[in-house]
């Protein structure tokens, strides 16, 4: 039987236990979770989500990315003459892996003898190229065989020698740097500068900001020097996830939430939410916060180089997947509306600029839209991959066909 004297002590013990228990339980739970993650990731490191690797400690990130993504060990830096940030190129014969997709995707693309997406031996075996293509990942063979990229198929259509200088993650200023370093030494008769609708304007704004000193290299790896950062997969995953959520929340506050998922008929596109920055820059451009005139300086330089080196300058406009398949059905209808306004305004500016500079302008938008409308979208005949929203082999072939028709007078048959 409990006495009165013992009750206060028992009550105090219970109160203390109630205060400590939740904290202790949480600590134990987190410890078990971290230990469990460590065991799982050590046994199956491929189970670590790709997005979480962004915030891993650099050495661990590089080790885990081997075979899944290109790492800095697979690249070299190219200095430039325009005040921009050094360009990171893949090394010769490096392999760039891709996630599985539909409609004829490949799981890896190997670079050629100078680090670009062409069949091997092409650059070294030609002293001169009839045509050189410059652009971003929509020129580079993204998840397609290099021989299926539109630049190589264009050569087959025209019966001419062509070379692909496309490089993902770059914009018009970088295109010109690659042209000067690798393209112009091959004395091309024509050069196609391919502008991608989605993020070239963003790349231009980033370059101008970097050149002016208002944008700097990412320092997100600073401070990742403790034992846990350097050794533990589980800690990197948990802490990195917190950093990812924090950065994502910050971007949402500054730029607004973005849901860039859409459907084309019964086919869902962009379930992984790739390229959300494309919608951010579209919103900014439509609101007048980013000027389409950012294209003017690099395209004037393109025209100057054409006059100096004697090639025909061609400006090609590559629409985003949702634009080519308009009307696509967006999860957020407002995203579709802003993308349509952005596309029309950007194409209009480039059309007028090309006219003023006397550049040959090929807007691929209405032509790809016409092809897309000819038959219902199905996963085996798409122009764009539903996963990475880049051109499929069929999409590359259609682009090559259109460009060949636009260049028929530059490269007449039989000459």
Q: The tokens of 191 are what?
A: 């050069």
- Domain containing 277 equals 50-406
Give pLDDT, residue 68. Answer: 67
d(CA 323, CA 305): 31
Give pLDDT, residue 19. Answer: 53
Q: Record the pTM.
A: 0.84
Answer whether 321's CB lies under 8 Å from 384's CB: yes
Cα end-to-end distance, the chain, whole Å: 111
CA 334 to chain centre: 23
Residue 114 phi, psi dihedral angles, 5° rounding? -120, 5
Cis omega (within 30 of 0) on the bond before 327? Answer: yes
> Along the 415 residues of the chain, how does pLDDT read in single tens digits?
444 444 444 544 444 445 546 767 777 877 788 788 888 888 888 788 777 777 888 888 877 877 666 777 789 999 999 999 999 999 999 999 888 777 679 999 999 999 999 999 999 999 999 999 999 999 999 999 999 999 999 999 999 999 999 999 999 999 999 999 999 999 999 999 999 999 999 999 999 999 998 865 554 676 788 888 888 888 888 888 888 788 777 776 756 789 999 999 999 999 999 999 999 999 999 999 999 999 999 999 999 999 999 999 999 999 999 999 999 999 999 999 999 999 999 999 999 999 999 999 999 999 999 999 987 777 778 999 999 999 999 999 999 999 999 999 999 987 7
How many domains does one find in the chain? 1
Residues facing 133 on adjacent strands: 164, 192
Give pLDDT, residue 46. Answer: 75
Q: The tokens of 211 are what?
A: 């050149």
Nearest-CA neighbor of 379 among 266, 280, 285?
Answer: 266
Q: Which residues contact 291 (CB under 8 A, 6 or more apart)?
A: 285
**Nearest-5° angle of CA 196, CA 77, CA 80?**
70
Has residue 36 been placed in a domain?
no
Has residue 298 been placed in a domain?
yes
Has residue 357 been placed in a domain?
yes
Has residue 32 been placed in a domain?
no
Has residue 167 been placed in a domain?
yes
Has residue 198 been placed in a domain?
yes
CATH number at residue 104: 3.40.50.1110
d(CA 297, CA 208): 11
HEC states along the chain? CCCCCHHHHHHHHHHHHHHHHHHHHHHHHHHHHHHHHHHHHHHCHHHCCHHHHHHCCHHHHHHHHCCCCCCHHHEEEECCCCCCCCEEEECCCCEEECCCCCCCCCCEEECCCCCCCCCCCCCCCCCCCCEEEECCCCCCCCCCCHHHCHHHHHHHHHCCCEEECCCCCCCHHHHHHHHHHHHHHHCCCEEEEEEECCCHHHHHHHHHHHHHCCCCCCCCCCCCCCHHHHHCHHHHHHHHHHHHHHHHHHHHHHHCCCCCCEEECCEEECCCCCCHHHHHHHHHHHCCCCCHHHHHHHHHHHHHHHHHHCCEEEEEEECCHHHHCCCCEECCHHHHHHHHHHHHHHHHHHHHHHHHHCCEEEECHHHHHHHHHCCCCCCCCCCECCCCCCECHHHHHHHHHHHHHHCCCCCCCCC
Long-range contacts: 51-55, Cβ < 8 Å, 24+? 51/244, 52/236, 52/237, 52/240, 52/241, 52/244, 53/240, 54/220, 54/240, 54/244, 55/220, 55/236, 55/239, 55/240, 55/241, 55/243, 55/244
Q: How far is CA 251 from CA 170, 242, 256, 276, 333, in A?
A: 21, 14, 7, 11, 21
Has residue 40 been placed in a domain?
no
Q: The tokens of 122 are what?
A: 């092409």
Treating both helix axes as pointing N-terminal to C-terminal, what angle do 58-65 and 233-255 enclose, rounded to 10 degrees?
100
Give pLDDT, residue 24. Answer: 74
Has residue 118 been placed in a domain?
yes
Answer whether 179's CB lies under 8 Å from 116's CB: no
Q: How far is CA 268 from CA 30, 231, 272, 311, in A?
A: 37, 39, 11, 42
């Amino acid at each position: 039987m409990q006495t009165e004297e013992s009750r206060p002590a028992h009550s105090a013990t219970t109160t203390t236990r109630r205060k400590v228990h939740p904290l202790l339980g949480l600590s134990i739970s987190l410890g078990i979770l971290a230990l469990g993650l460590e065991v799982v990731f050590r046994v199956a490191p491929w189970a670590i989500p790709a997005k979480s690797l962004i915030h891993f400690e650099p050495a661990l990130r590089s080790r885990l990315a081997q075979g899944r993504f290109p790492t800095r060990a697979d690249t070299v830096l190219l200095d430039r003459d325009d005040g921009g940030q050094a360009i990171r190129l893949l090394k010769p014969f490096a392999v760039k892996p891709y996630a599985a997709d539909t409609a004829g995707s490949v799981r890896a693309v190997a670079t050629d003898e100078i680090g670009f997406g062409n069949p091997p031996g092409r650059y070294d075996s030609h002293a001169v190229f009839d045509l050189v293509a410059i652009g971003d990942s929509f020129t580079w063979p993204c998840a397609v065989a290099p021989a299926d990229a539109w630049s190589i198929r264009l050569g087959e259509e025209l019966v001419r020698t062509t070379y692909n200088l496309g490089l993902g993650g770059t914009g018009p200023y970088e295109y010109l740097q690659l042209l000067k370093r690798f393209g112009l030494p091959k004395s091309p008769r024509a050069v196609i500068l391919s502008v991608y609708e989605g993020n070239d304007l963003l790349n231009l704004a980033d370059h101008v900001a970097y050149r002016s000193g208002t944008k700097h290299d990412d320092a997100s790896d600073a401070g990742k020097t403790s034992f846990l950062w350097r050794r533990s997969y589980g800690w990197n995953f948990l802490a990195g996830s917190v950093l990812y959520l924090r950065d994502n929340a910050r971007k949402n506050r500054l730029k607004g939430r973005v849901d860039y998922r859409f459907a084309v008929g019964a086919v869902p596109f962009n379930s992984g939410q790739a390229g959300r920055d494309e919608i951010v820059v579209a919103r900014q451009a439509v609101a007048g916060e980013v000027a389409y005139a950012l294209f003017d300086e690099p395209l004037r330089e393109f025209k100057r180089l054409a006059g100096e080196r004697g090639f025909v300058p061609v400006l090609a406009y590559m629409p985003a997947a949702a634009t080519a398949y308009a009307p696509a059905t967006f999860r957020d209808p407002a995203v579709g509306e802003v993308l349509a306004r952005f596309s029309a305004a950007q194409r209009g500016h480039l059309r007028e600029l090309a006219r003023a500079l006397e550049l040959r302008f090929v807007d691929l938008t209405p032509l790809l839209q016409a092809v897309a409308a000819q038959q219902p979208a199905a996963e085996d005949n798409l122009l764009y991959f539903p996963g990475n929203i880049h051109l499929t082999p069929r999409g590359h072939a259609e682009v090559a066909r259109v460009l060949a028709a636009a260049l028929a007078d530059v490269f007449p048959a039989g000459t």
